[in-house]
Structure 1
């Protein structure tokens, strides 16, 4: 597909180490490194006097402290991925991102268009069951904006580096069929979001939505030849869901507003997913238009 020709900029550095045994070894090392780093982080947190309270907060993410700890902890997967690239694949970390100038320019091209769409969505009337109400208030929210934005950028960059930068490029260097290098990382990304304990009957639907999000991000990555658009898409999505409007008592510690239901409210969450499906489609189409301009 000629539309995916720019993808070669990410695939080429992966060709020398594209064997499946090497990829499997890389994934094993990645998981072990993430586990080791997280155990180390937990040991540090457990030595704090306030650990008993922090432990409870980390489960629901309903305080700014807990959410910032969670978001900034995504530095650990990034470091783990660097270890994998050096030990297993002998490729540079920046090769996962693509040409840095292109990545930055495509990030901002997509970002500014998506921000406009989010602004339009926010001023449109919401169904009564989805009507958000004030949560933190501007006086408590504004001091958190900068650390929250940095934390979310770290979080989404970590996920994009692993799933679109690393796994997608390594698979694409081995298999030319887009159904393999787009779908496999996206399904794994969706499975990462599968949580029946949190979402109950909607867990599968949430995982499917995340899988579709992964496919959209994979497509934008291949069209750009860099991670810039995928990071922009992920960043705007997560800023909206974490900092602007969150679910009640679930990752709402940094949210200006929240909707009057939580993840266990099956009907309300399902109704929200009906709205979020078309929104994701519009995000993807707008990003593609932005890349063409």
Structure 2
């Protein structure tokens, strides 16, 4: 019933277009402190301001740069909250889950399983190919990094998940009256958005398959589980691990992480391993744990009108046929 929660009588697809524009505008507004910090340092030091985002983060203190960068996502998340409440007249929980309340156990299960896997993989690669990594751990900056990462990175990943797997997926479900169209559109949109990441310059556009495939995986999880708690946990674990454990001169996060990858980046057939091996295994684990069923209907089913009770009003929603 997750997609059905958007189908109130006063809800229309054009509101999602307006809401999306507002959220993106809010993100740019939240980016202003980061830009102002760059400009102030440039004026006070006389050094020219850098152009790329990676160079900007190095231009500032790394922890300050990370915090200011993530601040834009906090502003955008607040804007999304106001859009859902003000424009769509929905409870914000309705773009998070179809359950009576948010299932935090699901969030922490996905977070734990992916954090352990990601951290274990990084440590294993360090011992297998030590020549590709530098141990750069420094306690004081790392502790500050940990505080920023634990608080702010889940804000960043929550904005991305709730915008794509919650808000936009419900919006395109309202428009298409089926489940596969919002799944495909939001997955491609998620992948295209991440093509702005600095990794693309180093690895090439082949990495788009990884971004779109990850969006597809998270979309499938959302539709099968009727909520975003598992994607929220997975995405938070992925980015927190990246920020705390490993950085490089070409990665989106420039941090005081434990390790630094100094190898020459490349992307080949290895990017398909998560898509065709790891993600299907995770789907199997999640599916068995949470007793998923009716895969075809939940992923491709059409939508038909039903009546869904609400605490404040009754409205017409939709379910898969």
- Superposition TM-score, scaled by structure 2 size: 0.73
Unaligned residue ranges in structure 1 (runs of 5+): 1-7
Following TM superposition, by how much is the alpha carbon of 1:177 offset from its aligned partner in structure 2, in angstroms? 3.1
Q: CA 1:115 to 1:34, structure 2 compared with 1: closer, same or farther past 3 Å?
A: closer
Aligned residue for 1:89, secondary structure, equals coil
Following TM superposition, by how much is the alpha carbon of 1:66 offset from its aligned partner in structure 2, in angstroms? 1.0
Following TM superposition, by how much is the alpha carbon of 1:274 offset from its aligned partner in structure 2, in angstroms? 5.2
Following TM superposition, by how much is the alpha carbon of 1:185 offset from its aligned partner in structure 2, in angstroms? 0.9
Aligned residue for 1:82, secondary structure, equals helix
Unaligned residue ranges in structure 2 (runs of 5+): 293-321
Larger mean Cα displacement after TM superposition, 218-227 or 95-104: 95-104
2:187 corresponds to 1:194: no
Larger mean Cα displacement after TM superposition, 230-239 or 245-254: 245-254
Q: Is this contact kept in 1: 2:26–2:72, CA < 8 A?
A: no
Partner of 1:16: 9
Partner of 1:133: 134
Partner of 1:3: none
Q: CA 1:29 to 1:139, structure 2 compared with 1: closer, same or farther past 3 Å?
A: closer
Q: Is this contact kept in 1: 2:107–2:232, CA < 8 A?
A: yes
Larger mean Cα displacement after TM superposition, 178-187 or 275-284: 275-284
Aligned residue for 2:87, secondary structure, equals helix
In 2, distance between residues paired with 1:14 and 1:245? 43
Partner of 1:81: 80
Partner of 2:297: none
Q: CA 1:275 to 1:224, structure 2 compared with 1: closer, same or farther past 3 Å?
A: closer
Larger mean Cα displacement after TM superposition, 184-193 or 88-97: 88-97
Deviations 1:95-118 (A, max 9, x none): 211247443121122223333333
Partner of 1:5: none
Partner of 2:271: 273
Name which structure has the greater RCO, CA cutoff 8 Å, separation 6+: 1
Q: CA 1:37 to 1:140, structure 2 compared with 1: closer, same or farther past 3 Å?
A: closer
In 2, distance between residues paired with 1:19 and 1:130? 56
Higher helix proportion (structure 1 or 2): 1
- Measured on the aligned residues, the alpha-carbon RMSD in Å equals 3.3
In 1, distance between residues paired with 2:175 and 2:200? 36
Match of 1:256 among 255, 258, 272: 258
Matches within 5 A, 1:21-170: 21-39=14-32, 41=33, 45=37, 48=40, 56=50, 59-60=53-54, 61-62=57-58, 63-98=62-97, 99=99, 101-125=101-125, 128=129, 131-138=132-139, 140-170=141-171
In 1, distance between residues paired with 2:202 and 2:229? 34
Aligned residue for 1:136, secondary structure, equals coil
In 2, distance between residues paired with 1:69 and 1:116? 28
Q: CA 1:54 to 1:118, structure 2 compared with 1: closer, same or farther past 3 Å?
A: farther
Q: CA 1:129 to 1:208, structure 2 compared with 1: closer, same or farther past 3 Å?
A: farther
Following TM superposition, by how much is the alpha carbon of 1:147 offset from its aligned partner in structure 2, in angstroms? 1.9
Larger mean Cα displacement after TM superposition, 79-88 or 187-196: 79-88
In 1, distance between residues paired with 2:290 and 2:209? 26
Q: CA 1:271 to 1:219, structure 2 compared with 1: closer, same or farther past 3 Å?
A: closer
Aligned residue for 1:105, secondary structure, equals helix
Aligned length: 281
Q: CA 1:134 to 1:201, structure 2 compared with 1: closer, same or farther past 3 Å?
A: closer
Higher strand proportion (structure 1 or 2): 2
Aligned residue for 1:118, secondary structure, equals helix
Following TM superposition, by how much is the alpha carbon of 1:91 offset from its aligned partner in structure 2, in angstroms? 1.7
In 2, distance between residues paired with 1:67 and 1:128? 28
Q: Is this contact kept in 1: 2:63–2:144, CA < 8 A?
A: no
Q: Is this contact kept in 2: 1:172–1:178, CA < 8 A?
A: yes
Following TM superposition, by how much is the alpha carbon of 1:56 offset from its aligned partner in structure 2, in angstroms? 4.0
Q: Is this contact kept in 2: 1:64–1:254, CA < 8 A?
A: yes
Q: CA 1:191 to 1:165, structure 2 compared with 1: closer, same or farther past 3 Å?
A: same
Q: Is this contact kept in 2: 1:97–1:103, CA < 8 A?
A: no
